[in-house]
Amino acid sequence: MNIRIERHPAPPPPPPWDKLVFGKHYSPHMFKMEWRDGAWHDPRIEPFGPLSLSPAAKVLHYAQEIFEGMKAYRNPQDGSLHMFRPEMNVARFNRSATRISMPNVDPDLFMRALEMLVALDGDWVPPKPGSLYIRPTMIGDEPSLGVATSATYTFFIITGPVGSYFKGGAKPLYLKAETDYVRSAPGGTGYAKTGGNYAAALLPILRAQQEGFDQIIWLDALTRSTVEEMGAMNICFVYADRVITAPVQPVSDTILPGVTRDSVGVLVRDFGLRWVETPPVLADLLRDAESGELKEAFSCGTAAIVTSIGRVHHLGRDVTIADGKEGPVTRRLRETLCAIHVGEGEWHPEWRHRVPVLRPV
Ligand SMILES: *Cc1c(COP(=O)(O)O)cnc(C)c1O
């Protein structure tokens, strides 16, 4: 399918790179197409602007929505633009779509849409440590209050520049192991990137932040004894010889299979440590932190990359991990990933997807 381009008549300049606020700035163009009568129609890039929706659109009532979060980076040497493992996001988007009873998007069309959109708004990709955040989204927009799969969909991609997630250096996180609420349960939608999962997490996260914690550690729904994720990121624990994290599909359907998590797993093995996917038992982790056997803990995801965890709270017990500062494995993973993102260093150049320059029209 051909993607047509309707250019913005007077694209505004991007905001100053040192004043970026996450999620608040949008590039001048968006990609859009609609699903009608069993097929996608009119794939196009057009000026960023509001959608037109019926108040009865299914997404507004029954949350038939999925999304992705990915980034494009600028190489400091030649200014070329790269996306990080975008094929992983495309594949995950379609797995989320299937779970939420939505049509899939042809991966080739999806990839061309990403390339064209990023190339067209290339001026909006900040230099490091900034990046262009990319948000593909699909909504069921059939106007009908019947609880059933929507007959129509809109797929769109918006982008926007973001700065470094942590201004003034990454402070190790203070986390609350959440024992009252759960994020996902076996048989649910935990592995899908769908808005409903986030809606359910808002209240517990707000409460934890009001109590003075940075974020929540989600525990498993059935026993509340093993660690699943942190907020909307995956979470890993570093021992002297291994790094452990919760397993994803096909072993468990409650964990969001992060692209960062997968990349960290490869790097951990490159660095000569074992990568162990087994449910981390919270009681063991706290005991090992107190004995000094647990060396480091970190969370990982596209938005904040790799972030050190300094202290964990569970049912009145407060445990500091090592000296509460970022450890060497966490730092090496963070620095290696950041270098790969912008195209520096020797590790895994195959993870960079170069954005082709748009032919002038
Ligand atoms: C997006 C997401 C992650 C991280 O995935 P990345 O692909 O690494 O960005 C982790 N957990 C949840 C719940 C998520 O939605």
Neighbour tally for 262: CB within 10 Å: 15
State which of 193, 227, 249 you would mutate to test the pocket of ligand 1, scoring each by most atoms of that ligand within 8 A of its C-beta: 193
Residue 169 has pLDDT above 80, yes or no: no
Question: Is there a shared CATH topology between the 4-163 domain and the 173-326 domain?
Answer: no
**Segment 75-102 mean pLDDT:** 97
Give the model's confidence band at 165: pLDDT under 50 very low, under 70 low, under 90 confident, else very high: confident
Give the model's confidence band at 170: pLDDT under 50 very low, under 70 low, under 90 confident, else very high: confident
The per-residue pLDDT for 76 is: 96
Average pLDDT value for the chain? 96
**Segment 31-39 mean pLDDT:** 98
CA of 302 to the centre of ligand 1 (A): 7
Q: Relative to the CA of 259, which ligand 1 atom is closest?
A: 7
Q: Relative to the CA of 234, which ligand 1 atom is closest?
A: 10
The per-residue pLDDT for 168 is: 54
- From residue 298, give the alpha-carbon distance in Å to each of 75, 231, 301, 306, 352: 26, 12, 10, 6, 24
Dist. CA 41–CA 58, nearest whole Å: 20
Break the chain into its structural domains and give their ranges.
4-163, 173-326
Dist. CA 65–CA 141, nearest whole Å: 9
Dist. CA 106–CA 137, nearest whole Å: 14
**Segment 8-17 mean pLDDT:** 96
Protein fold of 173-326: D-amino Acid Aminotransferase; Chain A, domain 2 (3.20.10)
The per-residue pLDDT for 361 is: 59
The per-residue pLDDT for 127 is: 95
Token pair for residue 60? 């507004």
Q: What's the per-residue H, E or C state across the chain? A: CCCEECCCCCCCCCCCHHHCCCCCCCCCEEEEEEEECCEEEEEEEEECCCCCCCCCEHHHHHCCEEECCEEEEECCCCCCEEEECHHHHHHHHHHHHHHCCCCCCCHHHHHHHHHHHHHHCHHHCCCCCCEEEEEEEEEECCECCCCCCCCCEEEEEEEEEECCCCCCCCCCEEEEEECCCCCCCCCCCCCCCCHHHHHHHHHHHHHHHHCCCCEEEEECCCCCCEEEEECCEEEEEECCCEEEECCCCCCCCCCCCCHHHHHHHHHHHHCCCEEEECCCEHHHHHHHHHHCCCCEEEEEECCCEEEEEEEEEECCEEEECCCCCCCHHHHHHHHHHHHHHHCCCCCCHHHEEECCCCCCC
Residue 88 has pLDDT above 90, yes or no: yes
Nearest CA to ligand 1 atom 12: 232
Q: What is the pTM of this model?
A: 0.96
Nearest CA to ligand 1 atom 10: 233
Residue 124 has pLDDT above 60, yes or no: yes
Nearest CA to ligand 1 atom 15: 232
What share of the chain in percent tops pLDDT 90?
A: 95
CA of 68 to the centre of ligand 1 (A): 9
Residue 16 has pLDDT above 60, yes or no: yes
**Segment 174-227, tens digit of pLDDT:** 999 999 999 999 999 999 999 999 999 999 999 999 999 999 999 999 999 999
Burial 290-310 (b: 16+ CB within 10 A, else e): eeeebbbbbbbbbbbbbbbbb
Nearest CA to ligand 1 atom 6: 258
* Cβ-based neighbours of 92, under 8 Å, separated by 6 or more: 68, 193, 257, 259
What share of the chain in percent tops pLDDT 70?
A: 98
Ligand 1, residues at Cβ distance < 6 Å: 69, 193, 229, 232-234, 256, 258-261, 301-302
**Segment 222-241, tens digit of pLDDT:** 999 999 999 999 999 999 99
State which of 233, 235, 264, 338 you would mutate to test the pocket of ligand 1, scoring each by most atoms of that ligand within 8 A of its C-beta: 233
Dist. CA 10–CA 17, nearest whole Å: 20
The per-residue pLDDT for 358 is: 82
The class that CATH gives domain 4-163 is alpha beta
**Segment 321-349, tens digit of pLDDT:** 999 999 999 999 999 999 999 999 899 99
**Segment 33-60 mean pLDDT:** 98
- From residue 83, give the alpha-carbon distance in Å to each of 57, 136, 168, 194, 288: 33, 14, 25, 22, 38
Dist. CA 53–CA 141, nearest whole Å: 7
Burial 122-131 (b: 16+ CB within 10 A, else e): bebbbebbbb
